[in-house]
Amino acid sequence: MISLQNDYSEGAHPRILALLTQTNLEQSAGYGEDAYCLQAASHIQQHLNAPQAAIHFVSGGTQSNTVIIKSVLRPHEAVIAAQSGHIAVHETGAIEATGHKVITMPVANSGKLTPEAVMTAVKTHTDEHMVKPRMVYISQTTEIGSVYSVAELRALRACCDDLGLYLHIDGARLGAALAANSELSLAIMAEVADVFYIGGTKNGALLGEAIVIVNPDLQADFRYGMKQHGALLAKGRILGLQFVGLFAEQVFFECAHHAHEQAMALADGLRDLGCGFLTAPQSNQIFPILPNAVISALQQKFTFYHWQDIHDSDSAVRLVTSWATEPANIKEFLRVTAELLRK
Amino acid sequence: MISLQNDYSEGAHPRILALLTQTNLEQSAGYGEDAYCLQAASHIQQHLNAPQAAIHFVSGGTQSNTVIIKSVLRPHEAVIAAQSGHIAVHETGAIEATGHKVITMPVANSGKLTPEAVMTAVKTHTDEHMVKPRMVYISQTTEIGSVYSVAELRALRACCDDLGLYLHIDGARLGAALAANSELSLAIMAEVADVFYIGGTKNGALLGEAIVIVNPDLQADFRYGMKQHGALLAKGRILGLQFVGLFAEQVFFECAHHAHEQAMALADGLRDLGCGFLTAPQSNQIFPILPNAVISALQQKFTFYHWQDIHDSDSAVRLVTSWATEPANIKEFLRVTAELLRK
Amino acid sequence: MISLQNDYSEGAHPRILALLTQTNLEQSAGYGEDAYCLQAASHIQQHLNAPQAAIHFVSGGTQSNTVIIKSVLRPHEAVIAAQSGHIAVHETGAIEATGHKVITMPVANSGKLTPEAVMTAVKTHTDEHMVKPRMVYISQTTEIGSVYSVAELRALRACCDDLGLYLHIDGARLGAALAANSELSLAIMAEVADVFYIGGTKNGALLGEAIVIVNPDLQADFRYGMKQHGALLAKGRILGLQFVGLFAEQVFFECAHHAHEQAMALADGLRDLGCGFLTAPQSNQIFPILPNAVISALQQKFTFYHWQDIHDSDSAVRLVTSWATEPANIKEFLRVTAELLRK
Amino acid sequence: MISLQNDYSEGAHPRILALLTQTNLEQSAGYGEDAYCLQAASHIQQHLNAPQAAIHFVSGGTQSNTVIIKSVLRPHEAVIAAQSGHIAVHETGAIEATGHKVITMPVANSGKLTPEAVMTAVKTHTDEHMVKPRMVYISQTTEIGSVYSVAELRALRACCDDLGLYLHIDGARLGAALAANSELSLAIMAEVADVFYIGGTKNGALLGEAIVIVNPDLQADFRYGMKQHGALLAKGRILGLQFVGLFAEQVFFECAHHAHEQAMALADGLRDLGCGFLTAPQSNQIFPILPNAVISALQQKFTFYHWQDIHDSDSAVRLVTSWATEPANIKEFLRVTAELLRK
């Protein structure tokens, strides 16, 4: 079976694994106070144009979102997210478990939260009988693979400034976004966000996300929140070291571009076969629409998610590429699909 | 500098790292539903004599304690711990952050919680104006390296049965306990505990703890609690795989015995030099008492924790050995100490 | 100014106040363990046909909902509510503050949650990456004054049974519902609900709600949850005593019928004047649609909420009656409205 | 039976009840936004010498402590309390339920927390592996009836200033403290505390506590926290109105002085009979030591708490007086005790 199911099916990029192996017997300080964590932070820093930013490493995305939101909000404050937002749907109530409501707003097909939706959320929360919106959460790329443009990000930033809101960007797939739109950069993220994280797990690392706290008001005592949430690893250096690999050696960008190219090749090939898409392919998650019979046949050889029924005979599926996707597998997928569609 | 500061200074045991490397490009299911997690659970299972036990893998100790306690207790229920217990002191209020009080009881020099202390805690919590004690937490080895004997564990179990309490054992250093006392075993732990965890981070793994839920009443929906707390890694297989290495290949026991032998060699050597100890050396953490001048001189070459002032001129220090401690370094420590004491 | 703004503008029904005065200097046990609390529970019990039910008294509605939901759910479990549900909108995230997600479902104009909506909520929460729906919350009367019929309640009960869900009914305005539909009764509530509360604050008491836990599985240690949440009043008897008044002396039903009659008189009068309504008037909250100019003029003499713009020139307002609403004020409201509409 | 068991056995002071009755049918705004709440705040304000203070009314002590502490602390911050502190023992983990650790410090016989204990708590919490002490909690009077002097309060204030801590004073029995020591005043409380509350429940009201937030940094959005915790009563005016009675008409001080005089009469009488005391009688809770046989006989006619065994034949009991304690009952208690002691 060939997996196009997600971008975390394999282990780490070989250069990352090599780094772990080379340094394995070095003795270092625990809990993220080692030299590699410092070095990784410094490499990331060079991309940010935000010398005041604080950088911390944790092991996963849910942990990132939870520690950040819990650290920033007071008990009665809430975070605004798209109805399809990861924190709203797929984190088993992690944010609510820290006491905070996630205010969900409907989004159009784009999967993107708009300034208008944010404004509506704020306007409809008028007094102390309701929670107080205080933070906006978006995912870049979104849960359906769409990418906020620089203009869209700046518009959200302006909206947050107007309304006194913080902006947090979930970058579990930030690499994919950067690969998809060359106007985007880590510096743009640091410009628009109060806090964001750079996903390593889905882009070349075994595990690990780098949290970037741009706004100095949100930096105090962050390590306390990490420790309290079980997010300070004893061997913290294994996170720092992976980010050294990702950013000192550019593995992060290489991985993301590889995944992007494979996804675009897949999308182009499917388009040539006459496929439509649920949403325009933009990044490493694409959503082609195929006849159900073709889908069933494909599932004999490939694993991927059935996403949504379109009508009786067709469905949209989700295909995901990663740093490890082999071009031969993309070709094979297209070949088999072409054959099935011909029948 | 040579570190005797803790047992998480290095990376993973080379055989563990080799496994990660060998399997790196395999594609597998995410979030702990892969074949390696299953396989690791099955290997651990063989040690337990508790076929009903459920086994889950998470990335660290604070996370283990938090997810377990949060999953077991109702909101008004509390956990009883030694005043020096890890959850009471060194987890930044992680248990309280989930809403539960940690009832702390004084312990004697042994660092061990006794049935008498547990009974006192229960007797002094009499009605609904106070929290309701519902779980006992102990660490094996304890925070000061002492080891509960089989008889002590069974006495605590009997006490918990009498009082309607669950028993949770924090096994961050469970390997060290097993190496220290040959009567102990994982089967004994499964016999006495409702739930416990087996620490990988401090005994050969890069990261990872195996949670063993022996009591079927406590097993339902545990993965929900893990996910909610950010403890389900996307690449969950890297935890499973490490425990395959630790238990299929016996690395766990080898690592623990190596650390134990180094600690005993160190203790014997210091005893021969006339040193006293704060507590009798039992496992891989030992607490020799040395003149302050000697300690300062040692710190030029070795890193370790100053533990406690004994009187004006002497202090107890903490020396910790690990699977990676080189015998040569122990000898060097003894040589330098001997030289300093002679002055 | 005459208030039709809500049903808590005045103090207590005079017979309730008389009871408080008569018994003022008696000495009694604290924290709800006095004779009046027992007596009140026994009077309520006689209406229930559920001898196993446990009854507790607390000071308000948010407190009732919070203590109940927190006591029933495990950390990863969630409660399903209408998008307009009180716990979803107007309790400042009280439920989320205890760690639980409120899953909101759209409702039609009726303001009522349907079994279909409940089923959809359950079907879309499929695994441990999402919260687990475990309780259904409805309000009787709803937030817009509509009343669940016996058939609707039984259908929700059946749906909950099928899906393994608990049913909690917020009865802040339960009196109004009973007055509106003679098929309803406290016994019907006890038949369909696992837990519900009977609102005193909005129906004749100074403050106080009676929580009825019908399902024995949910009764254990409930007073612990009350105390932890600050819901056990030192002078708990003032709650018990008021419910003695409400139920021993039938004040509860009298109050509710008075409020209902005033609301119906108001609705009939407005209908006679040609007014339409946002939703059909059913209970003590009605939502007539009036020209904005008329509304502004009415607000010189009466206080009430502007509810919703209908179109440029008209709006729906909310008019609420209570046990204390004077018929003369209803007549005056109709007289003034008639006059304004004639202009 | 005559109760000396607590200071909340009776209802409200008759003048308070009269106010409730007189104003019963007035219509007013809900949720504490009525004229009586404003008026009560203004009367309290006149005692404070702190024009910037914000004043809110809630229904009980646990609620006060919980809403205050939750509102002030960030998630990793903790509150320091005496081991015997009400929040540490008798609030069913209410503070922990909001996620915060209560750091308990041993106290001497006085029941009072000292600056030295506070300093020790701060010094032993050194980094992010432990919670961060951020607030000091004391009770005035303490749980055993002792009273902090002005000098002691100022010393704690200075200590808090040095260490960057907030000082919160639980005034459930603040009236008793003011009656016990004429140097104390509400202005002194406002001088030393960042936040405190004035207990009505135990000093003349049916229910109600006035929270005084002296420090402007702690005032923002406090009503959100109240609402979220179910502490905003719909008929909030019944709290405001009672505090109008307590402070416009001086009922608060009269009640407290009456209780104090009765306690002192009781203490003097017992001393004359040769009784010793567990702690020196200072306020409305006194702890005489009596032979067990005498205690048993007294319990035929009086209710009070057995506090502590002293030795085989004697025990300390707790006797509490209130605004409603009748002098005749004190005399009767002394008469019966004298008679029993003579036997």
Chain-chain contact of C128 with B98 (C-beta, under 8 angstroms): no
Chain-chain contact of C75 with B76 (C-beta, under 8 angstroms): no
What pLDDT score does A249 carry? 82
Identify the closest residue of chain B to A61 by CA–CA distance: B230
Q: Report, as an integer, the average pLDDT of A169-189.
A: 98
Residue of C125, C131, C221 for testing the chain B interface, max B β-carbons within 10 Å: C221
DSSP string, B123-166: HT--STTS-EEEEEEEESS-TTS----HHHHHHHHHHHHHHT-E
Q: Please, which pLDDT band fits residue C306 given cuts at 50, 70 and 90?
A: very high
Residue C249 has pLDDT above 90, yes or no: no
Predicted confidence (pLDDT) per residue in C102-154, tens digit: 999 999 888 999 999 999 999 999 999 999 999 999 999 999 999 999 999 99
Distance CA B57, CA C139 (A): 42
Provide the angle, in degrees to the nearest 10, between the axes of the packed helices B237-248 and B14-22: 130
Q: Which subunits count as partners of chain C given 3+ CB pairs below 8 Å?
A: A, B, D
Residue with tokens 């979220």: D228
Using CB atoms, pick whichever of D11, D64, D93 lies closest to residue C238: D11
What pLDDT score does A141 carry? 98
Identify the closest residue of chain B to D74 by CA–CA distance: B97
Identify the closest residue of chain C to B69 by CA–CA distance: C75
Distance CA C181, CA C174 (A): 11
Residue of C69, C73, C76, C92 for testing the chain A interface, max A β-carbons within 10 Å: C92
What pLDDT score does D108 carry? 84
Distance CA D267, CA D319 (A): 9
Q: Report, as an integer, the average pLDDT of A289-311.
A: 95
Cβ neighbours of B227 in C, within 8 Å:
76, 128-129
Q: Using an 8 Å Cβ cutoff, are A194 and A71 in contact? A: no
Chain-chain contact of A2 with B229 (C-beta, under 8 angstroms): no
Residue C335: partners with Cβ closer than 8 Å, 6 or more residues away: none
Q: Please, which pLDDT band fits residue D230 given cuts at 50, 70 and 90?
A: very high
Q: What angle do CA B325, B326, B332 make, to 5 degrees?
A: 110
Chain-chain contact of A99 with C101 (C-beta, under 8 angstroms): no
Chain-chain contact of C27 with D21 (C-beta, under 8 angstroms): no
Cα D98 to its chain centre, rounded Å, is 21
Cα C116 to its chain centre, rounded Å, is 23
Identify the closest residue of chain C to D24 by CA–CA distance: C11
Q: Report, as an integer, the average pLDDT of C264-274.
A: 98
Locate the DSSP E strands across chain C. 2-3, 54-58, 77-82, 102-105, 132-139, 166-170, 195-199, 209-213, 276-277, 285-286, 288-291, 302-303, 305-311, 314-320
Q: Report, as an integer, the average pLDDT of D228-249.
A: 96
Identify the closest residue of chain B to D95 by CA–CA distance: B99
CA-to-CA dists, residue D274 to B76, B211, D268, D277, angstroms = 44, 62, 10, 10
What pLDDT score does D313 carry? 94
Q: Using an 8 Å Cβ cutoff, are D82 and D105 in contact? A: yes
Give the 3-state secondary structure of residue C210: strand
**Other CB atoms within 10 Å distance of the CB of residue D5:** 18
**Mean pLDDT score of chain A, rounded to an integer?**
97
Give the 3-state secondary structure of residue B324: coil
Longest CA span, chain D: 63
Q: A67 to chain D nearest CA, in Å?
A: 10
In angstroms, what is the C-alpha Rg of chain B?
20
What pLDDT score does B90 carry? 96
Three-state SS letters, C143-196: CCCCCCCHHHHHHHHHHHHHHCCEEEEECCCHHHHHHHCCCCCHHHHHHHCCEE
What pLDDT score does C29 carry? 95
Q: Please, which pLDDT band fits residue A19 given cuts at 50, 70 and 90?
A: very high
Q: Using an 8 Å Cβ cutoff, are A4 and A303 in contact? A: yes
Of B87, B63, B191, which Cα lies nearest the Cα of B143?
B87
Q: Using an 8 Å Cβ cutoff, are A133 and A165 in contact? A: yes
Give the 3-state secondary structure of residue A198: strand
**Mean pLDDT score of chain C, rounded to an integer?**
97
The pair of structure tokens assigned to A312 is 């009786």
Q: How many CA atoms lie within 13 A of B31 on its CB side?
A: 15
Cβ neighbours of D74 in A, within 8 Å:
71, 221
Residue C320 has pLDDT above 90, yes or no: yes
Q: Using an 8 Å Cβ cutoff, are A215 and A196 in contact? A: no
Q: A97 to chain D nearest CA, in Å?
A: 11
Using CB atoms, pick whichever of A91, A92, A101 lies closest to residue C93: A101
Ranges of residues in chain B with a pLDDT under 50 are none
Distance CA C55, CA C197 (A): 9
CA-to-CA dists, residue B140 to B189, B216, B323, C147, D331, angstroms = 10, 22, 18, 58, 60
Q: Report, as an integer, the average pLDDT of D227-231.
A: 98
Q: Please, which pLDDT band fits residue D185 given cuts at 50, 70 and 90?
A: very high
Cβ neighbours of D71 in A, within 8 Å:
74-75
What percent of chain C lies above the pLDDT cut of 90?
A: 97
What pLDDT score does D336 carry? 97
Q: Report, as an integer, the average pLDDT of C175-197.
A: 98
Predicted confidence (pLDDT) per residue in C1-49, tens digit: 999 999 999 999 999 999 999 999 999 999 999 999 999 999 999 999 9
Residue with tokens 């937490």: B137
Count interface pairs C-D at CB distance under 8 A: 154
Complex ipTM: 0.96
The pair of structure tokens assigned to A217 is 């008001």
Distance CA C43, CA C251 (A): 12
Distance CA B7, CA C43 (A): 65
Using CB atoms, pick whichever of C64, C224, C233 lies closest to residue D207: C233
What pLDDT score does B29 carry? 95
Q: Which amino acid is at D173?
A: R
Q: Give strand pairing partners of A28.
A: none
Q: Report, as an integer, the average pLDDT of D283-295.
A: 97
> What domains, with CATH codes, occur in chain B?
14-250 (3.40.640.10), 252-342 (3.90.1150.10)
Q: Which subunits count as partners of chain A given 3+ CB pairs below 8 Å?
A: B, C, D
Q: Which amino acid is at C335?
A: R
Q: Using an 8 Å Cβ cutoff, are B81 and B55 in contact? A: no
Cβ neighbours of B23 in A, within 8 Å:
11
**Using CB atoms within 10 A of its CB, is residue A163 exposed (0-12), middle (13-18) or buried (19+)?**
middle
Q: Which amino acid is at C301?
A: K
Residue A79 has pLDDT above 90, yes or no: yes
Residue A195: partners with Cβ closer than 8 Å, 6 or more residues away: A68, A72, A166, A167, A168, A169, A211, A212, A213, A214, A215, A218
**Ordered alpha helix ranges (H), A210-313:** 222-228, 237-248, 251-272, 292-298
Chain-chain contact of D76 with A224 (C-beta, under 8 angstroms): yes
**Other CB atoms within 10 Å distance of the CB of residue C334:** 17
Chain-chain contact of C59 with D202 (C-beta, under 8 angstroms): no
Q: A77 to chain D nearest CA, in Å?
A: 9
Distance CA D209, CA D229 (A): 15
Residue D153 has pLDDT above 90, yes or no: yes
Using CB atoms, pick whichever of C90, C97, C130 lies closest to residue A92: C130
DSSP string, A291-323: EHHHHHHHTTTEE-EEEEE-SSSEEEEEEE--T
Cβ neighbours of D98 in A, within 8 Å:
75, 99
What pLDDT score does D125 carry? 97
Chain-chain contact of D91 with B129 (C-beta, under 8 angstroms): yes
Using CB atoms, pick whichever of D92, D97, D201 lies closest to residue C235: D201
Distance CA A277, CA A294 (A): 15
Cβ neighbours of C323 in D, within 8 Å:
none
Predicted confidence (pLDDT) per residue in B192-208, tens digit: 999 999 999 999 999 99
Q: Please, which pLDDT band fits residue C193 given cuts at 50, 70 and 90?
A: very high
Count interface pairs A-B at CB distance under 8 A: 154
Chain-chain contact of B21 with A21 (C-beta, under 8 angstroms): yes
In angstroms, what is the C-alpha Rg of chain D?
20
Cβ neighbours of D14 in C, within 8 Å:
24
Chain-chain contact of B228 with A97 (C-beta, under 8 angstroms): yes
Chain-chain contact of B74 with C221 (C-beta, under 8 angstroms): yes
Q: D237 to chain A nearest CA, in Å?
A: 17
> What phi and psi, each to the nearest 5 degrees, are found at residue C310?
-100, -55
What pLDDT score does B311 carry? 87
Terminal-to-terminal C-alpha distance of chain C: 22
